Amino acid sequence: MKELVISGNDAVAYGAIYAGCRFFAGYPITPSTDIAERMANLLPKNGGVFIQMEDELGSISAIIGASLAGKKAMTATSGPGFSLMQEGIGFASYSEIPVVVVDVQRVGPSTGIPTYPAQGDVMQARFGTHGSHPIIVVYPYSVQESYELIVEAFNLSEKYRTPVIFLSDEVIGHMREKVRLTQDLKVFERQKPTVPKEEYLPYDPNYDIPPFANFGEGYRFHITGLTHDETGFPTSNPVKAEALIERLHRKIYKNIDDIGRFETFYADDADYLIIAYGATARSAKDAVIELRNKGIKAGLLRPITIWPSLEKPIREIAEGKKVFVFEMNMGQYVLEVERIIKRNVEFFGKENGELITPEEMELCIQRSL
């Protein structure tokens, strides 16, 4: 087991290699570019392929193609590039093609402030594409967790035949911490078909998650972004269309206990509950400690799985507590928290490139007493 002092972006690259990623296609964009640079160095040494694409549309398309050919594939981008990838993400979701998309967030809208942190892509990660389909979105808060969680992102993608969005931010991406490159993390491989090739159905309705054959292995099947039946060919049959959409949702939401990850910090006896994620959660932990030192029972709930929503944990942990949501935007995840707990919460956000400090959090909570 190696111990290195590396950045969060480097940790993502090392973790992706450990998870079995052997194809990366991307286009340089601050603050994610060093993921591409590190993958360009690591992939050839590990039997993989790196391609710098002409743009983000090409990048998402290339990793979809690589995944169909049997390779674990990843791209990395930031807000503007993430917007351009939405059509491809929707195609991969509907066609059930496992890929991992890393979005290291920066200030927006538009090209914003490329070198400063924000958390403005939370809703885009969930609702950026059109139509009704679920998505899995995870978000680390440290360099160590970046290494471990990207492995989990690949596992979830392969296990559930779905794109997984790995949200990060400029702070997590560029900060440096000591990381243990542990080699005992579980790595999941996609389920292959066992039926004769002529009987293979890529969207077999007898499975919530049908086995997935690779192109080039003798299985002939159709892939389309159109609504399709069990053979993969387009259909306009409302019954089959509804069955497909329901199965896409069922395979995610019935497995929320397997997919969902969160951390609590002094939340059990808290009177005041902070909900924060990513870099903002680092400030929140300091704020909780300082408030506790002043006799104020504060606690933290940190969602690691952002989508699908952690409805049961949020509802149960928030019960009887005054809830505060802090995020580096003007109000995104707070809307989901209010939907879940069915009451208004205190919100503090900003999207000017500055972190929300522990002192700002303390003051916000103290003013509400």
Token pair 């199965």: residue: 247
Closest CA to 119 of 363, 331, 338: 331
Closest CA to 306 of 333, 335, 266, 325: 333
pLDDT (mean) for 332-355? 97
Question: Distance of alpha carbon 283 from its chain centroid, rounded?
Answer: 21
CATH topology of 2-181 equal to that of 264-367? yes
Bridge pairing between strands 136-138 and 100-105: unpaired
Query: What contacts 329, CB < 8 A, 6 or more positions away?
Result: 118, 119, 120, 122, 349, 351
pLDDT of residue 99: 98
Q: What is the mean pLDDT of the chain?
A: 97
Residue pair 333/122 in contact by the 8 Å Cβ criterion: yes
Q: Please name the amino acid found at residue 358.
A: P
Closest CA to 251 of 207, 191, 304: 207
Residue pair 255/286 in contact by the 8 Å Cβ criterion: no
Q: Is a pLDDT exceeding 90 seen at residue 223? A: yes
pLDDT in tens, 273-325: 999 999 999 999 999 999 999 999 999 999 999 999 999 999 999 999 999 99
In this structure, which CATH number among 1.10.3470.10, 3.40.50.920, 3.30.2130.10, 3.40.50.620 belongs to the domain 264-367? 3.40.50.920
The domain limits of the chain are: 2-181, 264-367
Strand order in the sheet with 136-138: 49-52, 21-26, 72-77, 100-105, 164-169, 136-138, 305-307
* Cα distances (angstroms) measured from residue 156 to each of 2, 76, 160, 162: 25, 17, 6, 8
pLDDT cut 70: percent of the chain above it: 100
Compute and round to an integer the Cα radius of gyration of the chain: 21
pLDDT of residue 1: 75
Q: What is the pTM of this model?
A: 0.97
Write down the CATH superfamily of domain 2-181: Thiamin diphosphate (ThDP)-binding fold, Pyr/PP domains (3.40.50.970)
Instruction: Quickly state the pLDDT bin for 369 (edges 50, 70, 90).
Output: confident
* Tokens encoding 74: 């990843």
Token pair 């471990």: residue: 148
- DSSP, residue by residue, 54-93: SSHHHHHHHHHHHHHTT-EEEEEE-HHHHHHTHHHHHHHH
Instruction: Quickly state the pLDDT bin for 217 (edges 50, 70, 90).
Output: very high
